Amino acid sequence: MLYTILQITLLCVSLSMLGLIYRVIKGPTTPDRVVALDAIGINLIAIVALVSMVLDTFAFLEVILLLGILAFLGTVAFSKFLEKGEIIERDRDH
C-alpha cells in the first residue's frame, strides 16, 4: 500500500520535473529559466526524500538539507547577477 503510494508520488514528481525541464529549455526570458531551475532543485529534494523512503535508509537525509541550501544560494546568486550584472560587488573603488 505504502509502496504503491510512493510510486505514484514519484511518478507525479517526475512528470512535474519534465514540465519544468520543458520550461527551462523553451522559456523566453532568463528569469523564467532561473525560476524553473529553482523549482527543479526543490523537486529534487522531494525525489531524494521519496527515494530514501523507498530504500528505507537514513543515509540520504543530509542530502535534502544540502540541496535546499544549494538551490537557495544558486537562486540568490543568479538574481543578483540579473539585477546588477555582477554577483559580488566591490564597495570601494579607490
Partner 1 sequence: MIIGGFLSLVTAFGLLRLPDVYTRNHAASKSATLGVMSILLATFLYFYLEHGHFNSRLILAIIFIFVTAPVAGHLISRAAYNSGVKLWDKSVRDDLKDKEEYERQNSST
Q: Is 72 in the site for partner 1 (CB under 8 A)?
A: yes
Element (H, E) at 55: helix 30-55
CA distance 47 to 23: 19
- DSSP 3-state percent helix, strand, coil across the chain (nearest 5): 80, 0, 20
Asked if 70 touches partner 1 (CB under 8 A), the answer is: no
CB 88 to partner 1: min, Å: 16
State yes or no: residue 87 binds partner 1 (CB under 8 A): no
Residue 92 CB, nearest approach to partner 1 (Å): 24
- Grid coordinates representing 75? 537562486
Calpha distance 68→43 (Å, rounded): 10
Q: Which is nearer to partner 1, 50 or 93 (CB)?
A: 50
CB 31 within 8 Å of CB 12: no
For binding to partner 1 (CB under 8 A), which residues are involved?
Answer: 2, 5-6, 8-13, 15-20, 22-23, 29-32, 34-36, 38-39, 42-43, 45-46, 49-50, 52-53, 58, 61-62, 64-65, 68-69, 71-72, 75-76, 78-80, 82-83
